[in-house]
Chains A and B, each alone.
Chain A
Amino acid sequence: MSEEFLRRLDKQACEWAEGRHRTKRVGLWMAVFLAVGTVLEYVLGVTIDRNLPIMLAINIAEAAAILWFFMHVRRAWRSEEH
């Protein structure tokens, strides 16, 4: 096997690992964000009256995060091949 081929293979493996690492980082941060948001919602919901504004704010933030990071809403206007 040529050195060029091995170098290219190594580069592809690194890119693959980097992409996987980035994906898991996004997944982890989203999991933390959603968990914190849900617990905060629960605590506010059972302890505070007239909680509608803050609860709505938390809901919209969670929904926006899911739409952006998980559902890739920006792709709706792009024609990517897959």
Chain B
Amino acid sequence: MAVHEATRVAPHHEEEHNRPAMNQMGLWLFFVSESFLFAALASARFYIAGFDRPEHLNQALGLGITSILLTSSVFAYLAEAAIVRGDRAACKIYLLATIFLGLVFAGGVAIEWSTAEFTASEPYGTAFFSMTGLHASHVLSGVGLLALTYRLLSKGHFSAESHWGVEASIKYWHFVDVVWVFFYPILYLFSW
């Protein structure tokens, strides 16, 4: 009976021990699957519009929002580093900065959409609005995740020893940033 009990309990402990690795692997597999989606849109851009891009593309706005998103990634890194050493207050401040910059980025994309001199019925326009739209939806969901993380931090959740929620939401934010690292030049800068 005692042996049977020990056998029944042991797998549960093993699962708990492996949970951090399972969490990490699950998150990275999610990133890989999302990458295929973004890669498909990026390749479609070249398939339907080649390397063409409008003459009067708002390059300054593109550079501006890219700088904002990359800066937000730096703040997100600092937020994670803060919770790793147990500094909940600093983590909250950096998370707020990340959220703010993320919203500014989304606002910049909205301005780009409203002032674009091309339409969605044109090949480049189709690619542009699809790519920036899908990316912006990920940015907004990332902002939502970070806001939830901030709220949980305010309620006393997470610590230096246990902060997977913070790490996962920030990793997601960095993933969204990596996607833009490729999307920005694909839409604004590449030529051949």
Chain B residue with the shortest CB-CB distance to A51: B191
Chain A contacts of B174 at CB under 8 A? Answer: 66-67, 70-71
In contact, A66 and B189 (Cβ under 8 angstroms): no
Measured between alpha carbons, how far is A67 from B181 in the docked complex, in Å? 12
In contact, B192 and A52 (Cβ under 8 angstroms): yes
Chain B contacts of A34 at CB under 8 A? Answer: 70, 73-74
A8 contacts the other chain (CB 8 A): no
Chain A residue with the shortest CB-CB distance to B166: A82
Interface of chain B: mostly helix, strand, loop or mixed: helix
A39 to chain B, nearest CB (A): 8
Query: A40-55 CB contact bits vs B (8 Å, 1 = yes)?
Result: 0110111011111001
Contact A45 B190, CB 8 Å, known A35-B70, A79-B18:
yes
B151 contacts the other chain (CB 8 A): no
In contact, B81 and A27 (Cβ under 8 angstroms): yes
Chain A contacts of B84 at CB under 8 A? Answer: 19
Contact residues on A (Cβ < 8 Å of other chain), bracket = 35 or more
B138 contacts the other chain (CB 8 A): no
B164 contacts the other chain (CB 8 A): yes
A60 to chain B, nearest CB (A): 9
List which B118-166 residues lie within 8 A (CB) of chain A: 161-164
B171 to chain A, nearest CB (A): 5
Chain B residue with the shortest CB-CB distance to A44: B189
In contact, A76 and B28 (Cβ under 8 angstroms): yes
A36 to chain B, nearest CB (A): 11
Measured between alpha carbons, how far is A50 from B191 in the docked complex, in Å? 5
B175 contacts the other chain (CB 8 A): yes
In contact, B74 and A30 (Cβ under 8 angstroms): yes
Q: A31-B70, A52-B191, A81-B20 are in contact. List 5 more A-B contacts (CB 8 A).
A: A38-B63, A42-B63, A45-B190, A46-B59, A66-B177
Give A residues with C-beta under 8 Å from B.
16, 19-20, 23-24, 26-27, 30-31, 34-35, 38, 41-42, 44-46, 48-52, 55, 59, 62-63, 66-67, 69-71, 73, 75-82
Give B residues with C-beta under 8 Å from A.
17-18, 20-21, 24-25, 28, 51, 59, 63, 66-67, 70-71, 73-74, 76-78, 81, 84-85, 87, 161-164, 167, 171, 174-175, 177-178, 181-182, 184-185, 188-192
CB-based closest 7 A-B pairs: A45-B189, A79-B21, A23-B81, A34-B70, A70-B174, A31-B74, A76-B28
